[in-house]
Amino acid sequence: MHGPDGQHFKEHIMSNVTVIGAQWGDEGKGKIVDWLASRADIVVRFQGGHNAGHTLVVGDQTYKLSLLPSGLVRGKMGVIGNGVVVDPEALLAEIDRVTAQGLEVTPRTLRIAENVPLILPVHGAIDRAREAARGDRKIGTTGRGIGPAYEDKVARRAIRLCDLAEPETLDWKLDELLLHHNTLLAGLGSETFTKDALLAHLNALAPRVLPFMDTVWELLDDSSRAGRKILFEGAQAVMLDVDHGTYPFVTSSNTIAANAATGSGVGPGTVGFVLGIAKAYSTRVGEGPFPSELHDEMGRTLGERGHEFGTVTGRPRRCGWFDAMLVRRAVRVGGVNGLALTKLDVLDGIPELRICTGYELDGEEIRHFPSAPAAQARVKPVYETLEGWSGTTYGARSWADLPAQAIKYVRRIEELVEAPVTLLSTSPERDDTILMRDPFEN
């Protein structure tokens, strides 16, 4: 765009922020998004489903969100973009739960893209049956139907939110969907579904979910032109990206910042400043390779101190040292402009720390983590050892409050991942944050 108006529009676009995970998820994005939401006008979810979760601690309330954008906790408008797959039953249950905690979730505060694909009970059944059939080769899905729903989207047989307003469309689309899924379920020895049952299920939910439906791409475009700040909230993380993660042990969507545009219906320049979230160590839930994983007492110590359990699954997280190689890759493919480093306080008092700075494969040094699963399983980490600190970083709100060795640890991470740490989180509390650069001030 040219002229004064175009320049004004461009400046406001550049003040947007996109938050993505830079490891395997569970990096503490909820707190960071909640903290940033106070500076935003709109918070947008652009991918994933209710297989991801954010935990927000606000005063004496703890909110566990899976589908709802975190900004709702701060009274900001929440938007669920077209890149999300929505289980309407799970969504309504989550709305009821947070409403009981005092949040206002109405069509005034929450808008859902009319073209979001829906997760149906048949998707969860397929997900669980296939995972059981894999036996020892299971992927570690949550069994909530996210993957099968994305498959239906790509195969052009998805039921979308807008279909709930058209009973005649819904009728024949369910015929096509069940022709596929019932064949699979029967082959896996599982119970099949009837169209009448699914139709009744969706018709019962429609009056409650349709009021939230909106043309989200237009809403966001109008908001950008009006100078409103948008925060795009990613789920999962780069190393779970279906293209760039540790395939096949990944999620079923693209988690990188580029998908914030596709998954919400805006232009690529709208994503603004990309903030990657990473823990000061590494964790992973479920199956898949994890080069720096610790199977010893130190791994258990990190898990206990960090209260490492999946927000959605409740499964204990696998823990290990910070992997600078994988985070550097996430920085590059994710387009990360700055890092938010969380849970530094978990490392307090550990006399000796390690950072994975490289890999070996069959005795040879390699530059990148391989894509082939068999090679991934044989990778050995190369570590650099750093001195720990005896003081505490817990609750620190300025660099002056940090022990010298903690500062050295953070600076070394910056050098290795080739990105600045722009935000440092030192406890679950929202205000225990050290800000080097406000991502909204580009």
Query: Which secondary-structure segment (H or E) carries 338?
Result: strand 338-342
The contacts of residue 340 (CB under 8 Å, 6+ apart) are 19, 28, 32, 275, 276, 277, 278, 421, 422, 423, 424, 425
Q: Distance between CA 427 and CA 404 in Å, rounded? A: 18
Q: Are 62 and 56 in contact (CB under 8 A)?
A: yes
Q: Which residue in 359, 144, 368, 367 sits closest to 239, CA to CA?
A: 368
Active site residues: 26, 54
Q: Which residue in 58, 60, 53 sits closest to 29, CA to CA?
A: 53
Q: Are 41 and 257 in contact (CB under 8 A)?
A: no
Q: Which residues of 318-343 are buried (b: 16+ CB within 10 A; e: fewer)?
A: bbbbbbbbbbbbbbebbbbbbbbbbb
Q: What are phi and psi of 102, to 5 degrees?
A: 105, 0
Assigned token pair, 90: 């799970």
Q: Are 48 and 235 in contact (CB under 8 A)?
A: yes
Q: Distance between CA 288 and CA 398 in Å, rounded? A: 37
Tally of CB atoms within 10 A around 133: 13
What pairs with residue 110 in β-bridges? 78
Q: Which residue in 139, 131, 85, 155 sits closest to 247, CA to CA?
A: 139
Q: Distance between CA 146 and CA 118 in Å, rounded? A: 9
Length of the chain: 442
